[in-house]
A and B are shown apart, each in its own frame.
Chain A
Amino acid sequence: MSEAKKEIRVATGDRAILPEGTKLVPIYIMGKQYQVPETMTIQKAVEYAGYQFIRSCGCRGGICGACPTIYRVAGDYHLHFCLACQTVVQEDMYLTQMPFFPANRAAYEIEEVDASAETIMKLYPEVMKCVACNTCTKSCPMDIEVMEYVNAAMRGDIAKAARLSFDCIQCGLCSSRCPAQIQHFHLAQLCRRVHAKYQVPQAEHLKPRVAAINDGKFVDVLKELVGDSEDTLRELYVAREMEPQDSKGWQPEEKQFL
């Protein structure tokens, strides 16, 4: 065990304590310079600088798509695209945030469409205008093969478009950059839904269960459990048969409640 117990001063919540000697670096938030700790994410650095987000901030964990950010670093012509909550600041970065990007979405009746090239063409005819520049892929912070899914959708390979776009968080960076003005993320969502609904086999085993529930099959057993004493419930709980990890062919002995 360590001899000298360290004094414990702990950061709370999302506000970090900066130990002495932390290096500050200049960043430019929409053109204005602020000195921020070099270890911070862009999102936290902007807060450190004194901003309070009312936009461009959602999950703070890289999955909601609220914080797409575009930056350049002084002396380098390249444009960079990232999520502010997932990217550490760099000295002399010039950043702007894109809290919203307009993209029209085509409405459809999920029960009436199908998983075909025709559906895509009817709802998003502009996909045909893709010039295969790959800019969308290069700007995607989730490393999605965006151009590939657009091309798959165009060819009517909906399954591939659905699979490739699965990680899309709908941040809009791709659509902000596309010379063909394609609205990638809405198109991708359409592909995933029609793929799951019309191409993947439906869960046949679920249908009898749903019918049984709609017939009220479990109403009485559940009512009985609701009325049971804690002691009875404890007994039933302890007596549950456990489905094994490797359960191929496994059947429980007690079948009356199935």
Chain B
Amino acid sequence: MGYTPEMLDLIKKVEASRPERLERSKKGIDFEPLTLAGREEVLSKFHPDYKDDGRRDVKIGPSKGESYPDEFVDVLESKARLLVSGAELDKLTDYETDVLVIGGGGAGTAAALMAQENGCKVIVATKLRHGDANTVMAEGGIQGATQEVDSPYYHYLDVIGGGHFTNTPELVAALTNDAPLVIEWLERLGLMFDKDPDGRLRVRHGGGTSRKRMHSSGDMTGSAIMRVLRDESRNRSGDINVLEFSSAVEILKDSQGRAAGALFYNMETEEYFVIKAKATIMATGGYGRLHIQGFATTNHYGATADGLVMGYRAGVPMAFMHSTQYHPTGVAFPEQNIGLLITEKVRGLGANLLNTDAEQFVFEREPRDVESACIIRECMERGNGIITATGRVGVWLDSPMIEILEGPGAVKRELPAKHIQFMRYGIDISKVPMLVYPTLHYQNGGLTITDDSATNVSGLFAAGETTGGVHGENRLMGNSLLDITVFGRRAGTNAAAYVKNFDGEVGNVNMDHVDAYHKELAEAGVDTDRVAPLVLPNYTREEVMEKQLTTNYQGGLRA
């Protein structure tokens, strides 16, 4: 295992150019950063967000006329899996509850806990297992102004500046105001935060922060949060019922047009069932698995934009869905790590980015979007990428430079998890470079919400990566774990308040809004047999699909 002989040959060139690069580095000579005009040019030509091709205007729905990536418009301009009458839905009704939470990641679980604390019976229905989600994958940390030299005021400025001043201000205020409350809540629930011996929370800087406010739990912060929230929800299983392997496919409404639960699909028995609820919280996370423009992704298997599709059909407009975060350095080799994240820290420590001829082609500390665009240009336009045996392309990230600059052992000390991850495949990144390519990391936009986590549809709340606005066009690291806990909690509390004022029981439910959506599709001339939500991505090979002569695919799923 390890690199192929062809790749090892190319690596010789990388080794040969190291002394010269070291010389330059010692003199403090970096690769020339781009001018603002240069940045704009490379972004407009090569960044997937800025390029004109690969995107189109959505023809129907509350955000009609907005331009989004093709893959996303495809799922918006799709038919429902199922359209049935109210009477039929009555027959399918298996559960009734106060609050239905769709999606058992961090946002959904935080919402469930708060709804329960405020007196509600809750059902959390989730596609995979409870916690199989983007939340467990977060390594870096969670922000919050907990230190004396910091305050929500400075956190606010950092967030809105990071988002190019496009963020929805009320959401930023809620995020930064609640942040210390959330950190305290997690501490109270028994989260193992990194601390000094006297109990003071350890904090670090992150990209774009003016004060140190990145809190962590080892290099598994998201996992630590998910494990604690899930464990606590299990302690309250009398009131919080978690249904795993239950995929929501449509929001249902009552005769007054309020959200009143959802229609679900059991992928194993292929049955549909209905959960009626007084309030419904959408917390289905992101859309990395749509593989916008073919990009690999850091996201989990279930990140297929389902909540966006369901929410949009129910009438919720999109916010900031034109904007996607690509991380410049995702793994391009070995295949088994494809798309996984390599932290910015590697470049910060002095590793250069190099093309197939071992030449530098970009300044290593450009903003994320610019760095990504330069790597794409080097590979796609200039043809200077390294092509792997599995058909991937990438550029070298020369980690052994760190050993030279910082002394032997530095790679293992500074990047322990990455070192082990590559060692598993016979690659010692303290001796040979890594191969990297930009990877689809985070959905900046999503369903439009208020600072109460409410949508414009009454009875429908939303929280987490499936919503948009709080980060504007660019999210800073550590603000997403914060987003899901702050707005997850707000969604739970406000849904409970809504339930308290709810008169009587949930009445008959219907899918009239889906019917209307189908008509709108037809009127807009969208003639398609696409079905959404996808529920899962389809990774079946073409050679296999060609022989599946009696198989239908509905969304990403075989049916």
Q: Which chain B residues border A22 with CB–CB below 8 Å?
A: 389
B193 at interface by CB-CB < 8 Å = yes
Across the interface, A10 reaches (CB within 8 A) one of B148, B151, B210, B391, namely: B391
| Residues of chain B in range 135-192 having any CB-CB distance to chain A below 8 Å | 136-137, 145-154, 156-158, 160-161, 165, 169-170, 172-173, 176-178, 180-181, 183-184, 187-192
Inter-chain CA distance A240–B151, complex, in Å, is: 12
B384 within 8 A of A: yes
Chain B neighbourhood of A169, CB < 8 A = 223
Q: Is A39 in contact with B334, judged by CB distance below 8 angstroms?
A: yes
Q: Mark B80-112, 1 if CB is under 8 A from A, else 0.
A: 000000000000000000000000000000000
A138 at the interface (CB under 8 A from B): no
Interface majority SS (helix, strand, loop, mixed), chain B: loop
* Min C-beta distance of B81 to chain A, whole Å: 15
CA distance A243 to B213 in the complex (A): 10
Minimum Cβ distance to chain B for residue A5 (Å): 4
Contact between chains at A16 and B538 (CB < 8 Å): no
Q: Mark B261-294, 1 if CB is under 8 A from A, else 0.
A: 0000001100000000000000000000101001
Majority SS of interface residues in chain A?
Answer: loop
Check B190 against A196 for contact (C-beta < 8 Å).
yes
Name B183's closest neighbour in chain A (CB-CB).
A206
CB-based contact A63/B136 at 8 Å: yes
Tell me how many residues of B have a C-beta within 8 Å of chain A: 108
B336 and A200 form a contact (CB under 8 A)? no
Q: Which residue of B lies closest to A228 (CB)?
A: B169
Interface assignment of A162: CB less than 8 Å from any CB of chain B = yes
Q: In whole angstroms, what is the CA distance A107 to B187 when docked?
A: 19
Q: What total of chain A residues lie within 8 Å of the partner, measured CB to CB?
A: 96
In the complex, the answer to whether A54 meets B245 with C-beta atoms within 8 Å is yes
On whether the beta carbons of A54 and B201 are closer than 8 Å, the reply is no
Take A41-B335, A58-B132, A237-B161 as given contacts and tell me if A88 and B177 are in contact as well, using a CB distance cutoff of 8 Å: no
Q: Does B64 contact A (CB under 8 A)?
A: no
A206 touches B180 (CB 8 A): yes
CB distance from A228 to the nearest CB of B (A): 8
CB pair A213–B180 under 8 Å, yes or no, is: yes
Contact B541 A15 (CB under 8 A): yes
Q: Given the complex, which residues of A lie within 8 Å of B227, measured CB to CB?
A: 170, 189, 192
Q: List 7 A-B contacts (CB under 8 A).
A: A1-B384, A14-B338, A59-B300, A196-B192, A233-B161, A237-B160, A240-B157
- B147 and A205 form a contact (CB under 8 A): yes
CB distance from B329 to the nearest CB of A (A): 15
Q: What string of 1s and 0s marks CB contacts (under 8 Å) between A245-258 and chain B?
A: 10100111000011
CA distance A258 to B155 in the complex (A): 11
CB 8 Å contact bits of A137-165 with B (1 = contact, 0 = none): 00000000000000000000000001000
A251 contacts across to B, CB distance below 8 A: 149
What are the nearest 7 A-B pairs in CB distance? Answer: A17-B391, A201-B199, A193-B190, A12-B294, A58-B132, A5-B383, A13-B291
- Cβ of A79 within 8 Å of any chain B Cβ, yes or no, is no
Chain B 1-23 interface 0/1 with A at a Cβ cutoff of 8 Å (1 = within): 10000000000000000000000
CB contact between A11 and one of B149, B151, B184, B391 (< 8 Å): that residue:
B391
Chain A, range 201-222, C-beta contacts under 8 Å to B: 201-207, 209-210, 213-214, 218-219, 221-222
Determine the distance from Cα of A10 to Cα of B293 in the docked complex, in whole angstroms: 11
Given contacts A5-B382, A61-B137, A210-B184, 4 further A-B contacts (CB under 8 A): A1-B359, A63-B136, A64-B300, A201-B199
Partner of A194, one of B190, B198, B220: B190
- Flag if B235 contacts A109 (CB, 8 Å): yes
What residues on B are CB-neighbors of A30 within 8 Å? none
A251 to B133, CA, bound (A): 40
Judged by a CB distance under 8 angstroms, whether B415 is at the interface is: no
Partner of A86, one of B156, B301, B424: B424
A-chain residues with CB within 8 Å of residue B335 when the two chains form the complex = 16, 39-41, 44
Q: How far is the CA of A245 from the CA of B203 in the complex (A)?
A: 11
Residues of B within 8 A of A1 (CB): 357, 359, 382, 384
Min C-beta distance of B82 to chain A, whole Å? 18
Please tell me if B131 contacts chain A, counting CB pairs below 8 Å: yes
A225 and B541 contacting across the interface, CB-CB below 8 Å: no
